[in-house]
Amino acid sequence: MARSELKEATTAQSGGNVFTLMRRIGQAKAELAADYTTQLGRSAGKVVFFARHVDVMDAAEAIFARQGVRFSSIRGGQTPTARQANADAFVNDPDVTVAVWA
């Protein structure tokens, strides 16, 4: 990021940049988004939950687990084999209604 862009992205109130603010917004929305995803999965079928930040993904997965929602987790740090297994579980297992993807 260019210095001028970084300077513009910095906010006077929080001392953080736009990326920090985006993460905080994601964290704040995680519970509501996970609840909505659960409802959508129960009424419409399979749902993909996209998260930009791993901590938001973790929060959503914790909510799905508490609600008894079966999900697969597809993360960049997984091996190709693990990612494929999780994708296959979402596609082929009727009980896995949510794919959490970051």
For residue 91, what is the domain's CATH number?
A: 3.40.50.300
Model's pTM, two decimal places?
0.75
In a domain, 16, yes or no: no
Higher pLDDT, 99 or 7: 99
51-83 pLDDT tens trace: 888 888 999 999 999 999 999 999 989 999 999
The confidence score (pLDDT) of residue 21 equals 82
- The region, left, alpha or beta by phi > 0 then psi within -120 to 50, assigned to residue 49 is beta
Q: How many domains does the chain have?
A: 1
The confidence score (pLDDT) of residue 9 equals 47
What own/partner pairs with CB < 8 Å and gap ≥ 24 does 52-55 have?
A: 52/22, 52/23, 52/26, 52/102, 53/22, 53/23, 53/26, 53/27, 53/102, 54/102, 55/23, 55/27
The confidence score (pLDDT) of residue 28 equals 80
Nearest residue to 73 via CA among 45, 101, 95, 96: 101
In a domain, 20, yes or no: no
Domain around 51: 30-101
